Amino acid sequence: MSDPIAPTVDFERLRSIRAAAPHRIAELLASRTRPAPLAADGRLFIIAADHPARGALGVRDDATAMADRYDLLRRLVVALDRPGVDGVLGTPDILEDLALLGALDGKVVVGSMNRGGLQGASFEMDDRFTAYSASSITESNLDFAKLLVRINLDDAGTAATLDATARAVTESARLRLPIMLEPFMSSWVDGRVKNDLTADAVIKSVAIASGLGESSAYSWLKLPVVDDMERVMAATTLPTLLLGGDPGGDPADTYRRWAEALALPGVRGLVVGRTLLYPGDDDVAAAVDLAAGLVHTPAHTNGSTER
């Protein structure tokens, strides 16, 4: 990482604790300072880092960009130290590394339940959860749950995914644990699963996901920024965070689309990973600062503009 403000990180201590005193991980998570679930302006800006656990290591044309765990952790430490960054989303391995590095104090920590349907696998639509459960997120003293729910009407595996998701939502509601649902209408195209990013498809996925579980009281949505986002946001009353999406294209256009979507009623913030952790110019701090400014701008206070 070329960023001149890249921190000095005590990886030797991290390795030593993992090998000789693994019980310290639970102790550090239990004792960390937890913030209010929303920032003072009612917004959330979350850095996402759950990609490696599903084998998604590529960024643009570099298929192994996220393979170096030490480089990834340095980038995360830089991002989490920037003003306006409210928290981080990750699987247990990532979040426990960050806890050992002291990077989670005062942050909203989102536990990713992850998915078993790995990209490119014959079983890709088998999206059983392979990381956190709602109960383990609560026991780990984390603040939020997150899951992916891909809905493929041509694949019978979707039924099991919907059932597992409904049970996770129900358990989260009973524990009073906020849970982000990231829904997509998906299909098989040339042997790969492709998500439909038209407004109509996103609206359909929102309708299905919103009704999962015995209560929606603690359900949030995590949605892609697509054309006609006004219609998408008119389809739900659930608090919504925007999905940053895969890096690529013109960064200025990406930021413009984020800014427009962030101004819509019901939108509470942004969840972005690789786009900010691996920007084209490798300046993590600058990329994160720009996105934080979009989320925590006075014009977007509380995301409560009346329709």
Position 40 scores a pLDDT of 82
Confidence of residue 117 (pLDDT cuts 50, 70, 90): low
| Positive or negative: CA dihedral 239, 223, 292, 37 | positive
How many CB atoms sit inside 10 A of residue 82's CB?
Answer: 19
Taking CA atoms, 119 is separated from 76, 126, 200, 207, 237, in Å, by 24, 11, 24, 25, 31
**Domain layout of the chain by residue ranges:** 27-300
Out of 90-94, 125-129, 270-274, 300-304, least confident range: 300-304
**pTM assigned to the model:** 0.90
Checking if the pLDDT of 94 tops 50, the result is yes
Give the model's pLDDT for residue 38: 81
What confidence score (pLDDT) does residue 9 get? 87
> Residue 304 pLDDT more than 80?
no
Beta strands at 192-195 and 179-189: parallel, antiparallel or unpaired? antiparallel
**What confidence tens digit (pLDDT) does each residue in 176-232 have?**
999 999 999 999 888 888 999 999 999 999 999 999 999 999 999 999 999 999 999
- Please report the DSSP string for 160-213 in residue order: HHHHHHHHHHHHHHHHT--EEEEEEEEEEETTEEEE--SHHHHHHHHHHHHT-S
Q: Which CATH number is 27-300 given?
A: 3.20.20.70
| Residue-level pLDDT at 268 | 96
pLDDT at residue 4 tops 70: no
- What count of other Cβ atoms lies within 10 Å of the Cβ of residue 59? 21
Contact criterion met (CB below 8 Å) for 220 and 180: yes
The answer to whether 56 touches 303, Cβ cutoff 8 Å, is no
Is residue 156 very low, low, confident or very high in pLDDT (cuts 50, 70, 90)?
confident
- Greater confidence (5 vs 49) lies with 49
